[in-house]
Amino acid sequence: MTARLSVTLKINGAERTAAVRPFDTLLTTLREDLALQGSKRGCNQGVCGACTVLIDGRPVRSCLSLTANCVDAEVTTIEGLAPEGRLCAIQKAFVETGAVQCGFCTSGMLLAAHACLQSNAKPTADDVKRALSGNLCRCSGYKKIVDAVLLAAEGGI
């Protein structure tokens, strides 16, 4: 049995401690040790973007990130975008435009969109498409997703 090491992570503004194995990914730690299951396991090999979280504000695939390498970082998960259950503007815009179908890609999309708007408050549709290009939606709802990010950027929600 592989020994576990206690690590403390900064997640959504709070310190969280978990006992992790050296090979544990951040996705495994979030979902299986910290009950933060908003980050989805899709391909588990860095392709789909469903597991996207923010590390120091940048979108990162948590299925490819070792937990042990995240100790000094600020991690934001989808749960951090809606503290106390209050939806942020981008989440409201996704609801408004019908950008959520099965929802499996949605948390990763939202975090990539959040990072996009943090770096560019007034993106064009092409800017949004580029920012979300690493996130796949098997329900093919891309137009509504882009519309939602633009709606949030316009403050229309």
Cβ closest to ligand FES, residue 49 vs residue 123: 49
Q: How far is the CB of 85 from ligand FES (least distance, A)?
A: 21
Q: How far is the CB of 24 from ligand FES (least distance, A)?
A: 14
CA distance 157 to 152: 6
Cβ closest to ligand FES, residue 43 vs residue 95: 43
Number of residues written out for the chain: 157
Q: Which of 76, 85, 44 is nearest to 58 (CA)?
A: 76
CA distance 112 to 55: 11
Cβ closest to ligand FES, residue 30 vs residue 117: 30
Task: Specify the DSSP class assigned to residue 86.
Answer: P
Q: Which residues bind ligand FES (CB under 6 A)?
A: 41-44, 46-51, 61, 63, 100-106, 137-139, 141
